[in-house]
Chains A and B, each alone.
Chain A
Amino acid sequence: MYPRQISKDDVLKKYLYLAAVTLVLMLWLLPLGAVILTSVRPASDAAVGNYWGWPSGFDLVKNYTEVFTQTPMGRYFFNSLVITIPSVIGVLVLSTLTGYVLSRYRFRGNTLLFAIFIGGNFLPFQIMMIPVRDLTISLGIYNSYLALIIFHVAFQTGFATLFMRNFIASLPDELFEAARSEGASPLQTLIHVVIPLVRPALAALAILAFTFIWNDYFWAVVLTPSDAVKPVTAGLDNLKGQYVANWSLISAATIAIAIPPVVMFFLMQRHFIRGLTMGAVKG
């Protein structure tokens, strides 16, 4: 499974490998580098075609301040947070509940239910665009935070359930039997035994779901036409229309948008503890 290590003695191979990695990394990071550089250029640079050269000046503070003072990005940012945070929480809560039940309780239709959760993931969401839009309109939540929150939760919970089910299923059976024989109710077992032990999975899932929902463009465009509820992804597109000349500003906004998922990663990182279940059942 793991890539085989290059032997220390094979110097040529080692350097070739290093060179290849560096090259791929450069290619990969080049556009990002250009965007970062542009985000600190004075607006005039882009006008004269200085896309790749050294900036004629550094307007870092000015550009980034303007993103939030001269454009509605602040509003979009707020909208994104209002949509993303409850959605992520909703996904984590629902998938922990469904994963727990599907992995630990035998009941008629268990497998079928699980298959539906997984199968839902395979539906291309483009084909649901019109029905979902119509549904939100008839529910009276079209063009509101709630519309995006509900549908993000619905679409993310399928995969998240698969993830949590498998993680909870991998916990030793004896822990559940022990809890049950000590009189813990299913809910108590979930809260006091399962959740502390699946923390790393929840953290990983939180990052995934956060990034997915934060970066979503499709549903934002479909469900939230108005600026008042539009998230950053759709908002950035607006920016392009209004400020077509100011690429520095757009770049700065792009970088600002990319920051929350990164912050999320570092926030959740401390939950990735190896061997959390160590000492549970082994001698």
Chain B
Amino acid sequence: MPREERVPREEREEGAGASPGRAGAGDASGGVPAYVQADTYELTVNGTRRAVEDAWLGESLLFVLRERLGLSGSKNACEQGECGSCSVLLDGVVVCACLVLGVDAIGSRVETVEGLSAAGDVADIQAALVDAGGVQCGFCTPGFVVAVHDLLRRVPGADEMAVREALSGNLCRCTGYGRILEAVRDVQRSRAGSDGGHGAGA
């Protein structure tokens, strides 16, 4: 039995319950359906050119990110554009990665929650979500991070109704949204108090 590096039984001790292996960098999908067309192409993801090799052209950007590029931060709660858990930025615009074909992202800039995190653009949003109690199971959380980031750089002073409207494409089944709203308010307050400019223009 081929048993390679990322065997999921990892003795990790940071708690959090999970001990799984994670999607690795590189082609994780193991082939394509025989009856469909495959191709190799390149995507620009989080500022890096990434090769997508021998991939079925019917794969969504979400599948390519999660299963071929090892970026499983974008989630897959519905895969039909209803939940926002797969939110990414495509040329700076929030889209549902499940509704975009991987090949349609050729030539575009794709930014995922991993890239935004690494760049530090969303650190205050992430901290506020944790501190305010806006994270329970966390499956919706990466999508909310992307959506809140997008809203607050466009409309830093969005009022509550505008915040609700902007986030109404992101479902959360656990929190009832109260602590998520609280987190957004916290970020707005601290950004307004810290001279502005924070996180703008990602």
A binds B: no
Chain A interfacial positions (CB closer than 8 Å to B): none
Residues of chain B touching chain A, judged by Cβ–Cβ distance below 8 Å, are none
